[in-house]
Amino acid sequence: MRTVLILFSLLTIGLAAAPLLCSKTSQCGGGSDCYLTCENTCGCNDTSSSPMYGGKCQEPGFCEGTFLDLQDCIEPLQYGPTCPRKMLGMYDLLESYTSYDFRIDVRSAPEWAEDHANISIPTPGLAFHPAKNYLDVLEGKEDARILVYCRSGGRAFEASHNLLKYGFSNIHSFYQGGFPDIKRRVVEVSESSEDHPIKALCYITGGSDICPTPLPKSHVNSAEDITSLGDNVVLVDVRPRSYTNTFDDDLRAPANKKRQIKKFLKTVDETEHTLVTFCEEGNFAFKGAKAMIELGWGGPIYFFDNGGYKDLKKLFA
pLDDT in tens, 182-212: 999 999 999 999 999 999 999 999 999 999 9
Q: Residue 46: its pLDDT value, please?
A: 39
pLDDT of residue 266: 97
Reported as a pLDDT band with limits 50, 70 and 90, residue 307 is: very high
Residue length of the chain: 317
pLDDT at 6 (0 to 100): 35
Among the listed ranges 59-68, 89-98, 272-281, 286-295, which one has the minimum average pLDDT value?
A: 59-68
Q: What's the pTM value of the predicted model, to 2 decimals? A: 0.83
Task: Report, as an integer, the average pLDDT of 32-39.
Answer: 49
pLDDT (0 to 100) of residue 58:
62
- The fraction of the chain above a pLDDT of 70, given in percent, is 78
pLDDT, one tens digit per residue, over 103-158 is 999 999 999 999 999 999 999 999 999 888 898 999 889 889 999 999 999 999 99
Residues 36-58: tens digit of each pLDDT: 456 655 544 434 443 334 456 66
Confidence of residue 80 (pLDDT cuts 50, 70, 90): low
